[in-house]
Every structure is written in C-alpha cells, then in structure tokens.
C-alpha cells in the first residue's frame, strides 16, 4: 500500500490546473489536495483536472464519507467554487459504478461542474469547452 501523494501544477498548454494523485487515498490527503488546487484555480482562473489513474481507493470506503466530503468541504461549497469546471481522470476500475454515480450526484447537488473521464483528451476537451 503506497502512501498518498499529490502534485499540483499549471498546465500552460491546456490552460488548466493539474493535480496528479498517487498512492492510497486518505481523507486528510484529499482534503489538502482539493484545498490547494482550488486556491490555485481561483487565483489563476483556470479549470481543474484531477488525474486519479494511479490513485488507489482504500478498502471499506463508506459512501456517506463521499457525500459528507463534498457537502462540507469549504472549498467546494462556495459561490466561487461553481465558477470552475473540474474533471477527474480515472481508470474505470478505480470506482465502482455506485461510488462513481454517488460522486457525480453529490457534486451536482453541491452546484459543481464536475465530471469523470477515462480518456484524457475527452476530459481536456470538456474542460476547455465554452
């Protein structure tokens, strides 16, 4: 089980903030990554691409934790948060259909423009669309 790590940087070529997530997801780690990424996105007025293809989901993740995270995280529950699109790039096996759909439901319910993609080109096209 690899430790959770992330790297946040500006992708000038695609006019995005990229967040590369690796290792086994932790609640504190993802909250830090989202906070830092959202701050940078707001400063630079850019959409976000979370690359989760090398991230692992821990055993026994509770669906209620996903809903709570999206509903209570301050960077996701502000008017400013709704101004930017976020895409998560995943391998389909990373999330079960139930978890995948729950993330999408919770995000939309919070007023966020957040989608999941398995193809990087499709994610970038969606993020860059007017």
Domain boundaries, the chain: 5-128
Band of residue 38 on the pLDDT scale cut at 50, 70, 90: confident
User: Could you tell me which CATH number the domain at 5-128 has?
Assistant: 3.30.750.24
83 pLDDT exceeds 80? no
Token code pair at residue 128: 């860059």
Q: What is the mean pLDDT of the chain?
A: 80
pTM of the entire structure? 0.80
Instruction: Average the pLDDT over each of 47-56, 63-72, 96-105, 119-128 and give the range with the smallest value.
Output: 63-72
91 pLDDT exceeds 70? yes
107 pLDDT exceeds 80? no
């Amino acid at each position: 089980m690899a430790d959770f790590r992330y790297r946040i940087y500006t992708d000038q070529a695609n006019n995005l903030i990229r967040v590369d997530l690796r290792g086994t997801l932790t609640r504190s780690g993802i909250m830090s990554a989202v906070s830092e990424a959202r701050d940078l996105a707001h400063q630079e007025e850019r959409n976000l691409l979370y690359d989760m293809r090398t991230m692992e989901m821990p055993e026994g993740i509770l669906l209620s934790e996903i809903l709570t995270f999206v509903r209570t995280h301050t960077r996701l529950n502000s008017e400013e948060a709704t101004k930017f699109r976020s895409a998560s790039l995943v391998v389909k096996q990373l999330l079960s259909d139930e978890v995948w759909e729950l993330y999408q439901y919770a995000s939309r319910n919070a007023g966020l423009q957040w989608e999941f993609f398995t193809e990087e080109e499709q994610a970038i096209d969606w993020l860059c669309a007017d």
